[in-house]
Amino acid sequence: MAILKIARMGHPVLRGVAEPVPLTPGAPLPADIHRLASDMVETMLDAPGIGLAAPQIHVGARIIVFRVPGDRASGAAGDVAMDAQVLINPELVPLSEETVLGWEGCLSIPGLRGVVPRFARIRYRGYDLDGNLVEREAAGTHARVIQHELDHLDAVLYLDRMPDMTKLTFTEEMKYFTGEALKPT
């Protein structure tokens, strides 16, 4: 396994739409995809982060890795702690139009955080490394990280989704924000 270089905002790879990974459902993916996924997980954990999309490591493929740390999971349905997961060719569907505001950061935009609206509940699907279909419903941090990483596959950064740029801050300055920053405007 290897720790890979993470593309930072401004690199063109982050503004390109990722290509689907060729696969046969039910058949394991090739060794190079397994190796890439392992390297992505190691890179995400080393960063440290809770999600990473292939374009962030200079690969234009529809692959994401993510986790839900115990201290960030609410414990509610769809938002429980999860170890590192791999999804190939993921897609999502919102379960309602309800959105929630929350702070997000990005390994490709180090040192900054912003308040971003995301769907409160989603259903997503994709394939694991054995070619098996994975389908889940998600809420809370789980739903937020999936939406964030799928945005990377479609050339979208969280800054593109921010409705209020006054809620963009350096991580060190977050102490000046209160719960008021999360109220819808």
Q: Point out the residues that are catalytic.
A: 149
**What would the two tokens of residue 170 be?**
């350096």
Buried b (16+ CB within 10 A) or exposed e, 90-124: bebeebeeeebbbbbbbbbbeebbbbbebbbbbbb
